[in-house]
Amino acid sequence: MDAPTLFFDLDGTLIDSRGDIANSVNLTRADYGLPPLPLEAVTKMVGNGARQLMLRAMPGFEGRLDEIVENNRRQYAAHLVERTFVFPGVPEGLEALRALGCRMAVTSNKTSAHIPRILERLGILKYFDVTVGGGDVPALKPAPDLLYLAAERMGVPVRPDDWVIGDHYTDLEVGRHAGVRVCHCAYGFGQPRGERFDVEVQDLREFAAHLRGLLG
């Protein structure tokens, strides 16, 4: 069996970005005269891109959504990695997966320009062949478009033995739509919502060990 291609989610899978996401939301809310939301409340709103996040965070402002999303993107860009960190075991897991010969991509609903900046600041950009995100395709996850774009940019076909690795139902659903295997990262802050997965891990090193066993 050849080494599979791995399509990683970002927030809740590789990084814990809740602090910076909540901070950007609350900075935007403050610009519109609204009080801050608790971290736990913002965390439950994450997973479907910036527009859906701000719709949930600022109900009643739907008519000004474009300017609110742009405000939030500016706020987030100014505070990308102040309260964000890599989950324990992620660098070691990525190193082990790279040693197995896997091609690896990050596919995230986050604005695409932010992704390599965050990964570089956290020291893990070197593990990925490509990164794709919001703005690169019309349809965000759970549509599989980001996965297909990443595969196209790597010059590889999407095969049933490839993997989506993520913490949220949107990631797991992408795997189902694309017909590939799915690893659920239970250590993240996503919500699986009954979506199927092939393996569940509490640490990315567990997934590396699982894949090593499959490859023999």
- Residues taking part in catalysis: 9
Q: Where are the alpha helices (DSSP H) in the chain?
A: 18-31, 39-43, 50-57, 65-77, 90-99, 114-121, 145-154, 169-178, 204-215
Q: Please choose, from the candidates 193, 196, 211, 187, the residue with its C-alpha nearest in 3D space to the C-alpha of residue 18.
A: 187
Distance CA 49, CA 108 (A): 9
Residue 105 phi, psi dihedral angles, 5° rounding = -130, 155
Residue 57 phi, psi dihedral angles, 5° rounding = -80, -25
Residue type, 30: A
